[in-house]
Amino acid sequence: MMNIDTQTIVPRLQVIESLAFVPRVASTNLIARRIVGECINNDLSLPQAMIIAGEQFAGRGRNDRRWSSPAGKGIYATTMLTRPTAQLPLVPLAMATIVAGYLRDVFSIDARIKWPNDILADGRKIAGILIEARIQEERAYVLVGIGINVEPVKDDIRPNAVAISEVSHRAFTGIEDATVAFIEHIDAQLAHPFDHDRVIAEWRRLAIHKPGDRITCVIGERTVNGTWAGIDEQGRALLRDGAETIAVSAGELILV
C-alpha cells in the first residue's frame, strides 16, 4: 500500500495549505465537493488543498465515464482552488498544460494535449482531467480532478491507454515517488498566476491537433463535424465546416 507522509511534504509547499491521503475512497472529487458545500453553506474560505487517493472505486471522468482507479496503478487527486469567476474558462487549459508539463519535466515524456484537457503520450491516453466549479458572486470554487496512469492496467475500460512506466525516458522509481513529484510540481505551478497569453500559447504548443485535422465533436446529443482550426482567445475549439467556423466551448472530440 502506498505510504505518503503528508506532514513532511506540506511545509515545503508554496500554495497547497493542506494535503490529505486517503487509502481508498469512492472519488476524490466527491469528497472535495462536500468540502466546498460546507464552506459555502457556512460562509468559510475554501482551503487551497489536495486530496489524494490510493484507490478509487467510483472514479469518474468527463461525461460521467468510469475512470478505472486500481490501487498502486495511478495518481488519483483532486486539488481545490479559489479563482476569480472571470478566470474560470482559462482553468481547463492551464491545468492541461501543468499536467503535461509534469510528465515532460519529471519523466521526459512527450506529453500532448487533446482538447480540452486529455493528455496523450504516443497517441494514447495517459492522463485525464475533470474540472467542477461552484460560483459564488465573483469567486469560483474550483475542483480539479486529475488521474494519471503510472503503471499499466489491462482492462476493457481503457483499451487505448498508456502508463508512465511504459513510456518514461528516465529512471522510474515507482508510484510513491511519482506522486510526491506530482504534488510538488502542481504546487510550484500554481504559485504563478494564470497569465492568459502564456496559457493559450503553451496550450497551442502542446496540442496534438494540427490545422486541417478531421474532427468530430460530440456535445450532449449533438455531433459537430469539421476540420481543426485551433482555439480562440477564450480557449474554445474552432471547427471549420466549409465556409462556416464553429466555436465549441465544451464537448468530446473524436479524432477521425
| pLDDT (tens digit per residue) in 67-118 | 568 878 999 999 999 999 988 889 999 999 999 999 999 999 999 999 878 9
- Mean pLDDT for the chain? 88
What pTM, to 2 d.p., does this model score?
Answer: 0.91
Average pLDDT of span 30-43: 90
pLDDT at 123: 92
The reply to whether 105 and 223 lie within a common domain is no
Residue with more model confidence, 156 or 159: 159
Adjacent-strand bridge partners of 119: 113, 127
Residue 246 covered by a domain = yes
Same domain, 155 and 172: yes
Is pLDDT of 172 > 60? yes
pLDDT of residue 65: 60
- The predicted-structure confidence for 187-236, as pLDDT tens digits, reads as follows 999 999 899 999 999 999 999 999 999 988 877 788 888 999 999 998 89
Residue at 1 is within a domain = no
State what percent of residues in the chain have pLDDT above 90. Answer: 59
Q: Is 188 left (phi over 0), alpha (psi -120 to 50) or beta?
A: alpha
Residues 14 and 96 in one domain: yes
Which residue would you say has higher pLDDT here, 235 or 2? 235
Q: What is the share, in percent, of the chain residues with pLDDT greater than 70?
A: 91
Considering the domain architecture, whether residues 238 and 176 belong to the same structural domain is answered as no
The boundaries of the domain holding residue 232 are 214-255
Encode pLDDT of 173-186 as tens digits.
889 999 999 999 99
Q: Are residues 229 and 155 in the same domain?
A: no
Same-domain check for residues 76 and 144: yes
The CATH number linked to 59 is: 3.30.930.10
pLDDT, residue 208, reads 96
Residue 219 confidence (pLDDT): 75
The pLDDT assigned to 179 comes to 96
